[in-house]
Amino acid sequence: AADEFSALSRQKRATCSSAVCYNGGTCNNFTDSPPCLCPLPYIAPYCRVAADYCFTLQPDKGITELPVCLNDGNCTLTYADPYFNCSCLPGFYGLRCEHAVVPEASTLPSDGGTSPNFSTETKSTEVVSTGVANLTTSGWHETMGVVLLISVSVGVPIAVVIIAAMAAAIVFAARYRNRQKTSRSGDRTRYVWEEGCESDFNSHAI
């Protein structure tokens, strides 16, 4: 019996040595077939072909059903563990594209809620509009608001817009005060003239 086992082993070694095992495969001296023992991802009989793990279950990695790449991810074969690669669509990530991206939100300290960030230019425009309203009349405020919005939309730096708006507001306020002073001065002159005429009339009447 020992002689028969030894002869069978020699026969297997001879059969294996006559075959060519590719890609790091070794001769199988333990069973009648396959002739070569292949490293992953290559498969028997001669380790020439790699298994397509994009369509192969791997229970040890939790892949118990197809498709391997989830959420419409694109699968390609690789030659290193886990022997596949998933290219995920925007919004997904993970070995198998199994996770969805959650949008980040900034925390507002006032009420503890969350809200998306707003652009600095929008906030600056609102502040400038409020400042102009405090310095001028409502009509001037509306006009300057339109100018600010147009300036921001065409790409004029917000600092330039702020300086120009404040300078215009100061000039407008100064002219408005001058008109008020002129009007009050005219009223006083007219009052003095009318009072003088009335005095002359009374003196002639007497």
Confidence (pLDDT) at 75: 96
Is 32 a domain residue? yes
The string of DSSP codes covering 19-51 is S---TT-EE--SSSS-SEE--TTEETTTS-EE-
**Residue 168 is inside which H or E element, if any?**
helix 158-205
Whether residue 57 sits in one domain with residue 44: no
Whether residue 127 sits in one domain with residue 193: yes
> Mean pLDDT, 10 residues at a time, over the chain (206 residues)?
50 62 89 89 92 90 92 94 94 95 68 49 40 47 58 60 76 73 57 51 50
Whether residue 45 sits in one domain with residue 8: yes
Whether residue 66 sits in one domain with residue 47: no
Is 124 a domain residue? yes
Return the closest-CA partner of residue 45 out of 61, 68, 28. 28
CATH assignment at residue 70:
2.10.25.10
Q: Under a CB-based contact definition with an 8 Å cutoff, are residues 53 and 68 in contact?
A: yes
Confidence (pLDDT) at 5: 45
Is 185 a domain residue? yes
Residue 107 has φ and ψ, to the nearest 5°, of -90, 130
Total domains in the fold of the chain = 3
The two tokens of residue 78 are 């690789």
Whether residue 160 sits in one domain with residue 184: yes
Return the closest-CA partner of residue 133 out of 144, 125, 119. 144
Report which DSSP code applies to 14.
Answer: H
Is 16 a domain residue? yes
Whether residue 193 sits in one domain with residue 123: yes
**pTM > 0.85:** no
Whether residue 60 sits in one domain with residue 31: no
Confidence (pLDDT) at 162: 75
Whether residue 148 sits in one domain with residue 80: no
Domain of 79, in residue numbers: 52-100
Is 165 a domain residue? yes
